């Protein structure tokens, strides 16, 4: 049986026509991509303040407070060096300590951002249901929080690199664009997993295993030259691993004799830029398409 639209007896207009006449819209309606981007930019100060608050709150119960921003990466580096540099004797390459810590800190930036982003919607349902704002603010704030953590880690990393005998060269400047490309890539991936995590609550249980596998496939703990033993097609595939690309760019900038799986520096930059563009734009569009779903159900 066909349904008929309700008509206002005074005006003779349907409800949809009345709403259009008075400029009313459906509550929670998804705005256009351009309008959504404009609103998100207007909330940039909220994103920065929220990210800073999350960072401070994460250390509020620790006696040493934000000093753990430095102690945590330093402790991780020491543990992995003990295992892979001493016990397993993987320190045959020059300055393995700087090589290892660079890989660890760069990978941890993405790992921590993705883990935080997976729960950025599901853990903030009260805020989402109480206030109206672009929901992308939450995964972006998670990315900014981890970027702030990265800056503290970079202070530690620079200290390690200098202490292990690496000279200061012009190549150090290349670290800045490499980290910015990785930050854009992370933002896209975080928005992707944020939407997925809002629908599948079990994703946060699976994500640590995915990230651990990704770490082993990114040459974090050992020389990337080991990948050359793989079949040709597999080596080529590994060369397009975005995290391996960002790690290699950082190592090239900081460690003079760091071996590279891909000898072409230009290719590394092109692949890194392409991943940042694809992940950044793709993740943003994917998240925007689910804007009206967050906090419902």
Q: Per-block average pLDDT, block size 10, for the chain (297 residues)?
A: 52 59 58 92 93 78 62 74 62 78 91 92 86 91 92 87 89 95 97 91 88 90 79 83 94 87 83 96 95 77
Instruction: Tell me how far apart the alpha carbons of residues 175 and 207 are, in angstroms, rounded to a whole number.
Output: 28
Instruction: Tell me how far apart the alpha carbons of residues 21 and 191 are, in angstroms, rounded to a whole number.
Output: 36
Angle at 54 between CA 28 and CA 221, to 5 degrees: 110
Residue 206 has which token pair? 């699976």
Kindly give, in sequence order, each residue whose CB lies less than 8 Å from that of residue 185, ignoring residues fewer than 6 positions away.
Answer: 110, 242, 246, 272, 275, 276, 279, 280
Question: 273 burial class (0-12, 13-18, 19+ CB within 10 angstroms)?
Answer: middle
Give residue 3's pLDDT.
44
Residue 287 has which token pair? 């998240």
Q: Cβ distance 285 to 33 under 8 Å?
A: yes
CA 127 to chain centre: 22
Instruction: Tell me how far apart the alpha carbons of residues 250 and 172 are, in angstroms, rounded to a whole number.
Output: 9
Give residue 98's pLDDT.
87
What sections of 222-264 are H helices per DSSP? 232-239, 242-254
> Which residue do the tokens 């543990």 mark?
79
Residue 89 has which token pair? 């004797």
Give residue 61's pLDDT.
65
Question: 112 burial class (0-12, 13-18, 19+ CB within 10 angstroms)?
Answer: buried
Q: Cβ distance 216 to 244 under 8 Å?
A: no
The neighbour count for residue 78, using CB atoms within 10 Å, is: 13
Give residue 22's pLDDT.
53
Q: Cβ distance 256 to 281 under 8 Å?
A: no
Instruction: Tell me how far apart the alpha carbons of residues 266 and 273 are, in angstroms, rounded to a whole number.
Output: 11
């Amino acid at each position: 049986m066909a349904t008929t639209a309700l008509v206002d007896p005074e005006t003779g207009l349907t409800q949809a026509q009345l709403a259009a006449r008075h400029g009313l819209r459906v509550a929670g309606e998804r705005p256009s991509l351009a309008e959504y981007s404009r609103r998100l930019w207007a909330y940039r100060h909220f994103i920065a303040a929220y990210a800073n608050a999350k960072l401070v709150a994460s250390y509020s119960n620790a006696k040493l407070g934000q000093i753990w921003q430095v102690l945590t990466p330093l402790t991780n580096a020491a543990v992995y060096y003990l295992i892979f540099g001493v016990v397993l004797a993987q320190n045959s390459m020059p300055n393995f300590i700087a090589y290892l810590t660079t890989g660890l800190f760069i990978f941890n930036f993405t790992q921590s951002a993705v883990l935080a982003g997976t729960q950025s919607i599901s853990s903030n349902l009260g805020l989402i249901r109480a206030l109206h704002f672009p929901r992308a603010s939450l995964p972006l704030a998670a990315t900014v929080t981890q970027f702030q953590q990265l800056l503290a880690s970079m202070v530690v990393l620079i200290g390690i690199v200098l202490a292990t005998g690496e000279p200061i060269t012009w190549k150090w400047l290349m670290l800045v664009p490499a980290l910015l490309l990785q930050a854009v890539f992370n933002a896209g991936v975080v928005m992707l997993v944020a939407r997925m995590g809002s629908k599948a609550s079990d994703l946060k249980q699976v994500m640590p295993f995915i990230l651990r596998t990704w770490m082993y496939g990114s040459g974090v703990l050992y020389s990337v030259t080991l990948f050359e033993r793989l079949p040709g097609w597999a080596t080529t595939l590994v060369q397009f691993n975005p995290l391996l690309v960002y790690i290699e760019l950082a190592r090239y900038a900081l460690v003079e004799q760091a071996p590279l799986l891909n000898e072409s520096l230009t290719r590394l930059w092109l692949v890194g830029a392409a991943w940042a563009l694809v992940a950044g734009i793709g993740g943003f569009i994917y998240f925007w398409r689910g804007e009206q779903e967050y906090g419902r159900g």
